[in-house]
Structure 1
Amino acid sequence: MKSASIIMIVGSALLLGLFIFPLWSISLEAPQYPSGIGMNIHLDGLQGKEKHDLQNIDGLNHYIGMRKLPKPEEMWEFSVFPKVVGGMALLGIFIGLLGLFKGISPNWFLTWLIIMCVLGILGMYDFNAWMVDYGTNLDPKAIMKMTDADGNPLSYKPPLFGTKHILNFVAHSYPHTGAYMMGFGMFLTFIAYIVGNKKRKTNQA
C-alpha cells in the first residue's frame, strides 16, 4: 500500500502544475500573420503568446462584432477554477498521506479520480459553451457582417479541440503543458488504485 500511496501523492501534486503552465492554447494563422498569433489559457486568465497578441485578436474581432477577450475579473471561472484545482490537489495529497500512514482503502483513490473526471467534463462543457457564445453572439452593428450560403450569420467559434478554418484564418486549439500534467497525474492516480487494490487482495489471500 505504501507504493500506491506515494503514486497517489505524486499524481495529485501534478495538478499544481496548472498554477504555473497554461491549460489550453488557441492559435490563429493567416497570410497577414505569417508567424501566427494566439493565446494561452491559464486557470486565472488569458495570456498572449507574444506581447501584443491579445490586443491584435481584439482588433480583429472588433471588425466582425465579437466581444473583447475577457479579463480575469470578468469571468467567474478565473476565480473559481484555481480554488477547485488547488482543493482537489490538496485533497488527493491528503488521501495519499492517509493511505501511507493509516492504510485506507484504495477505493478512496478511485473516488478522487472519478470526482476529477466529472469536474474535467464540466470544465470542458463550460469552456465550449463560452466559446459558442463568444463566437456567435455578435454585435449587429459590426463593420463586417459575414453570412453563409443561406444568409445566416457565420459562427466564429474556435474549435474545442483540433483545427478549423474561419474565413482566411486557420484556428488551432489544443491542450498545453498544464493539461498534460493534469492528465498524467490522473493516470497515476488510476495506477495507484490498481497497485493498491492488488496489494490489498494479496494481503487478504
Structure 2
Amino acid sequence: MKNVSSVNRILIAVCSLLMISAYFTPLWQISLWAPQYPEGLNMKIWIDRLSGDVDIINGVNHYIGMKHIGVEMFPEFTYLIYVFGFIIGFGILAAIIGKRWSLYTFFSMIAILGLGVLVDMYLWGYDYGHNLDPTAAIKVPGMAYQPPLIGYKELLNFLAYSGPDTGGWILALVGTVLLYAVITEVMKSKKEKVLA
C-alpha cells in the first residue's frame, strides 16, 4: 500500500491533536429565547457532562411534561471519553504509519463518529420532545416539542436553537481537513495507476 504525502501525514497528526480539544470544550449547545427570557437560556453538552442553564430549562419544561434533563439521560457520557481516546490514538498511529489505508481508516472513524452523534442527538430530541407526561399542567393537543437537530425552530412562545459548540466546530474542521487529505490521496492513486 502506498505512503501518503508528507503534507497529509502532518495533517493527520494535527487533526489527531485537535481532537483532544473535545475534552476541554463543549461539543454541542441548545439555546432557548422567549419574552420572559430575552437574554436566552443555554445548555452546553460536553463529552461527559452538561452545563449552563439546565436547572432553569428543566423548570420551564416541567410545565409541558418534558422529562428532567440530567446526566443520567446520556449514557454516552460514560464511554465517549474512551471512544475519542481510541480515535485520537489511532490518528497519531496513522500519522506515524503514513499509509493510505491508515488515513482512510482514520477518516472513516471520524465520519462514523460524526454521523453517530447526529443520529443519537436526533433520537434523543425525538424522545425528549414527544414522550410527554400526560398529567402536565400545560397540554397542547397534537403538539410535540422536539428541539431542532441543527438550526432554529419555534416551540410555542420559545425560539429554540441547536448546533455545534466550540468542540463541535473543531471536530467539523478535523473532518473537513481529513476529507481533503483523502481526496488528494485518491487522486494521486489514480494518477499512479495511469502511469503504471
Q: Structure 2-normalised TM-score?
A: 0.88
The residue correspondences of 1:75-94 to structure 2 (distance < 5 A) are 75-94=74-93
Give matches, 1:10-49, under 5 Å.
Answer: 10-48=14-52
CA distance in 2, matches of 1:58, 1:87: 34
SS at match of 2:140: coil
Task: Give, in angstroms, the shift of residue 114 of structure 1.
Answer: 1.8
Task: State the distance in 1 between where 2:165 and 2:51 align.
Answer: 13
State whether residues 7 and 191 of structure 1, in contact with CA within 8 Å, keep that contact through their aligned partners in structure 2: no
Pair 1:129 & 2:123 matched? yes
Taking the aligned partners of 2:181 and 2:138, their CA distance within structure 1 comes to 54
> Who is 1:143 aligned against?
137
Q: Which amino acid aligns with 1:93?
A: I
Query: Following TM superposition, by how much is the alpha carbon of 1:183 offset from its aligned partner in structure 2, in angstroms?
Result: 1.3
Are residue 192 (structure 1) and residue 181 (structure 2) matched? Answer: yes
Paired amino acid for 1:172: Y
Could you report, residue by residue, the CA deviation over 1:113-169 in whole angstroms, capped at 9, with x for unpaired residues?
Answer: 12321222122111110111111111111111112xxxx2x1111100111110100
> Residue type matched to 1:76 in 2?
P
Is the Cα contact below 8 Å between 1:28 and 1:37 reproduced in 2? yes
- Aligned-residue CA RMSD (Å): 1.9
CA deviation string 1:95-125 (max 9, x = no partner): 11121xxxx3x23202221232122212211
Alpha carbons of 1:55 and 1:199: their partners in 2 closer, same or farther (altered >3 Å)? same
Matched AA of 2:124: W
Name the structure, 1 or 2, with higher relative contact order (CA <8 Å, separation 6+). 1
Q: Give 1:197 deviation, angstroms.
A: 5.5
> How high is the sequence identity, in percent, across the aligned residues?
38
Long gaps (5+) in structure 2? none
Q: How many residues in Structure 1 have an aligned counterpart in Structure 2? A: 189
Matched residues in 2 for 1:107 and 1:192: separation? 12
Task: Report the TM-score, using the length of structure 1 for normalisation.
Answer: 0.84
Q: For 2:145 and 2:130, how far apart are their aligned partners in 1? A: 6
**Mapped partners of 1:131, 1:197: distance in 2:** 37
- 2:114 paired with 1:110: no
State the AA in 2 paired with 1:55: D
Aligned residue number for residue 60 of structure 1: 60
1:88 Cα offset (Å):
0.6
Distance 1:189 1:85 in 2: 16
Deviation of residue 198 (structure 1)?
Answer: 6.2
Counterpart code for 2:127 = D
Secondary structure at the aligned position of 1:15 is classed as helix
